[in-house]
Amino acid sequence: MKTFTYSAALATAIAVTAGMADAEVTLSVLIDNNPETVSSMEALTAAYTAANPDVTFDIEQRTGGADGDNIVKTRLATGEMADIFNYNSGSLFQALNPQETLADLTGIAGQANVLDSFKQVVTAPDGTVRGVPFGPAMGGGIFYNRALYAELGLSVPKSWDEFMANNAKVAEAGKVPVITTFGDTWTSQLFVLADFFNVQAEVPNFAADYTANKVKFATTPAAMRGFEYLEAVFKANYMNEDFGVATFEDGMRMVATGEGAHYPMLTFGIGTVKQNFPDNLADLGFFALPGPDAARNGLTVWMPAALYVPADSPNQEEAIRFLDFVASVEGCNTMIEASGASGPYLIKGCELPADVPPAVTDMLPYFQTEGMTAPALEFLSPIKGPALEQILVEVGSGIRPAAEAAALYDRDVEKQARQLGLPNW
């Protein structure tokens, strides 16, 4: 029988190796399943592990929309949330009770790189900052197919009447005028949410009065117009036949390849086309949602989603170090290299490349012209009812009239307003 003699040096080596193994950390990550989100997170985690070999990541994807909201809220409430997760900033962030459920990121070095406009939308009621930006700022409006526009001799519309006139010409040509994807119910909301620039242009105090329960969607004609737009598109038979089951990725494919002319969406969809249909990226254009007045048309803007660390994460210290990296110029450039630039990033010193896609070029003049952008309502008010997407699916499917839907949504927000403890509710 062969025996082994352990030297002091070997014992020391074993102890050191054991200590190194103990120091290894695997951080769990929960993200939505949008291709741009996935590619950005995969690039960030790979870069971080390359610099920190003792840290690896286990990435899990979730659905978006209301189902995704429920997953996030449930896992936070039950203590089963991943060490790092991405989620909305603004009103949906406030609904997470952030000062109780999320780690405080106010003091990390990377916050010095983050623009104040973003910090405001991830600040808890106690004044602490709880997230870092993940991805670019977005515009909400209409993707359109440039090649189809050129073929039909169409111009970018700035009023709703011009938009509907274009739709009529698209229908005559045998193409889908307005691509609709209720298979992903969250996509139903764009006509209402992206119209907020036009609402605010007509009713400047709407956000503050809405929060104070002084105005309603159903009793404010400018605010109800988005519901009416969706109803009008359905009644004109301008949607694709499979609108009830088509998904977001179907929508981006259709508008990029010219199967349809228009797709109401947020500009993060540019990343999906870049990944899945790169040969069609040059055919993808974008314009703000047209309103009643062409002279006052502008872009409704969404702040990026954020990355958060739950307050009860067992790996909180390492997770926060990763978020510090995400908030750096290096982290920002890593995301741009992986997913492209579908809008401006909110990290100081992180510049967009010169060869941005045409749809980004279409969007930038809104940001560069004073008074041509306005934050979406969810960044000016903490109130956003959870049933909006389902209500709008009903409107866009001809099940519920616009006026009735707006009144139903007004009732939907009441419970949330009371949960937030807002006055006058």
Tokens found for residue 141: 């409006």
Mark whether 145 and 125 lie in a shared domain: no
Residue 7: inside a domain? no
Task: Count CB neighbours of 369 within 10 A.
Answer: 11
Residue 291: inside a domain? yes
Residue 2: inside a domain? no
Q: What is the pLDDT of residue 23?
A: 66
Residue 369: inside a domain? yes
Residue 346: inside a domain? no
Mark whether 142 and 243 lie in a shared domain: yes
Task: Count CB neighbours of 409 within 10 A.
Answer: 22
Residue 13: inside a domain? no
Predicted TM-score (pTM) of this structure: 0.79
Residue-by-residue DSSP string for 297-329:
--EEEEPPEEEE-BTT-TTHHHHHHHHHHHTSH
Residues 142, 263: contact at Cβ < 8 Å?
A: yes
Buried-state track 100-122, b at ≥16 Cβ within 10 A, e below 16: ebbbbbeebebbebbeeebbebb
Mark whether 284 and 202 lie in a shared domain: yes
Mark whether 328 and 258 lie in a shared domain: no
* Rounded-to-integer distance, Cα 156 and Cα 146, Å: 10
> What's the domain count of the chain?
2
Alpha helices in 277-315 (DSSP H): none
Mark whether 105 and 169 lie in a shared domain: no
Residues 304, 37: contact at Cβ < 8 Å?
A: no
Q: What is the pLDDT of residue 369?
A: 86
Mark whether 106 and 207 lie in a shared domain: no
Residue-number span of the structural domain to which 126 is assigned: 24-136+303-339
Strand partners, 239: 178
Residue 348: inside a domain? no
Mark whether 287 and 381 lie in a shared domain: yes
Mark whether 231 and 308 lie in a shared domain: no
Q: What CATH number is associated with residue 258?
A: 3.40.190.10
Mark whether 297 and 389 lie in a shared domain: yes
Mark whether 143 and 291 lie in a shared domain: yes
Mark whether 154 and 125 lie in a shared domain: no
28 Cβ neighbours under 8 A, 6+ residues apart = 57, 58, 60, 82, 83, 84
Mark whether 150 and 88 lie in a shared domain: no
Stretches in the chain below the pLDDT threshold 50: 1-22
Beginning with the edge strand found earlier in the chain, give each strand of the sheet holding 132-134 in spatial order. Answer: 55-62, 25-32, 84-87, 305-308, 132-134
Q: What is the pLDDT of residue 5?
A: 33
* Rounded-to-integer distance, Cα 105 and Cα 131, Å: 6
Residue 412: inside a domain? yes
